[in-house]
Amino acid sequence: MTDFIHRFEPATNAGSPPLLLLHGTGGDENDLLGLGKMISPGSALLSPRGRVLEHGMPRFFRRLAEGVFDEEDLRRRARELGEFVADARKQYDIAAPVAVGFSNGANIAAALLLLKPDVLAGAILLRAMVPLSDPPKPELGGKPVLLLSGQADPIVPASNSAELAASLSEAGARVDHKVLPAGHQLSQADVTLARNWIVTVDAKAA
């Protein structure tokens, strides 16, 4: 298996979609397990640790400055993460997961949707930005995406998250974009919206 330190928790409800949990800068493989359980109790949880270090803090890809990504590295790391998910699906016998990504994790999840669309069944993108300045034009075929942005987010401008929503919609994703009265950190509203959304997605898939 591609060398990601990770945690895996098997499903306790066979009907719940597996989740790929992707932490923010400075998080690790344990960071979003609690969030995953709140969003979709009973789902299998696959949670890798980012392999890039920034001042000792794990991330999923390099950046040149806040909000300025090393896009060559991002493309390479997205390929590696896609290979890891493919290997993990075989090892743990799970379906294509729904990504739940926060901040840096949401950005690589968005990149995965654009670069390796077959890897994910859908995504919950929490405080995501446009990952690539010249993205490919994949066919996302109605893949469900929930994009939750913070109205007072000092890192992600409103225009940027709107551009991401438009880009994913144009690629064929079924995007639900909500702007919350919040900053960059997560709120209870994020959890509630994500939990309600994933139930509707699961029902459509059933």
- Is residue 153 annotated as a catalytic residue, yes or no? yes
CA angle at 52 for the pair 124 and 70, rounded to the nearest 5°: 80
Task: Tell me the pairing of strands 122-126 and 144-150.
Answer: parallel
Rg (CA), the chain: 15
Would you tell me how many other CB atoms lie within 10 Å of the CB of residue 13? 11
Catalytic residue among 103, 149, 161, 167: 103
Residues 6+ apart with CB under 8 A from 83: 2
CB 73 within 8 A of CB 92: no
- Is residue 177 annotated as a catalytic residue, yes or no? no
- Is residue 47 annotated as a catalytic residue, yes or no? no
Residue 127 region by backbone torsions, left for phi larger than 0, else alpha for psi between -120 and 50, else beta: left
Catalytic residue among 31, 40, 153, 161: 153
- How many Å apart are CA 153 and CA 44, to the nearest integer? 31
CB 127 within 8 A of CB 189: no
Catalytic residue among 28, 176, 184, 187: 184
- Residues with catalytic roles: 103, 153, 184
